Amino acid sequence: MRKYVSEFLGTFLLVFIGTSSVVIARGSVLTIALAFGLAVTISAYAFGGISGGHFNPAVTTAMWLNKRIGLADAIGYIVSQIIAACLASWLVQLFAKGLGQAANQLGQTDFPKISVGLAFTVETLATFLFLTIILNVTSKEHGNSDFAGLIIGLTLALMIVFSLNLTGGSLNPARSIGPALFAGGSALSHLWLYVVAPEVGAIIAAYVSKFLLQSED
């Protein structure tokens, strides 16, 4: 149970701080990217020693594929992550209403300027790169446990800088599920892409790390 609570808290912090930087702070691209990246870094150092610090169903999928986590725990992690994201989005909506802002602008991910195919490519590529870094920097063989949290946070920030104006820079199904469920509209109708594309990227990263980079034990 401690592992699931840790995943809940870390994911909550990621989604709450990240989307608040969009909705409440109305930050720039760099501000938003750093908010998400630093939230992951803080959560990794605070809770990673308990659960491994996934805070993302795509990360959990890759870790399960590479046998770093069992199936039962993987399911528990993903459920905890999604519940945390939903709670975080509900609170962001509550605070936005308090400021007199639109209740359907919650930092949700969408791709109004590009095609479905291009959006799928962006999310798959960004997640693949992100997960490849995660799998290798946390590897017992040649990783760096002391700096893993910092490296992961910086990588997420850079991936969001690249993808924010294209797809909203999700790389995380839970991060998209929470806001979409409360915002509705096209974010909800396009939610499938933000679930499938990151998972595809995670699967590719898992196999690249395992068979090409030999990052697994």
pLDDT per residue as tens digits for the range 107-128: 999 999 999 999 999 999 999 9
pTM of the complete model = 0.95
Could you give the CA distance from residue 142 to residue 144 in angstroms, rounded to a whole number? 7
Rounded to a whole number of angstroms, the distance between the first and last alpha carbons of the chain is: 26
**Token pair for 11:** 């994911």
> Is pLDDT at 21 greater than 60 in this prediction?
yes
Could you give the CA distance from residue 133 to residue 171 in angstroms, rounded to a whole number? 13
Contact yes or no for 58/201 (Cβ under 8 A): yes
> Is pLDDT at 212 greater than 80 in this prediction?
no
Could you give the CA distance from residue 199 to residue 210 in angstroms, rounded to a whole number? 16
- pLDDT score, position 32: 97
**Token pair for 29:** 């691209």
Reported in sequence order, the residue ranges of 11-155 that DSSP labels E, i.e. its strands, are none
Could you give the CA distance from residue 8 to residue 81 in angstroms, rounded to a whole number? 5
Q: How confident is the model at residue 70 (pLDDT cuts 50, 70, 90)?
A: very high
Q: Over pLDDT 90: what percentage of the chain?
A: 91
What's the mean pLDDT when you consider all of the chain? Answer: 95
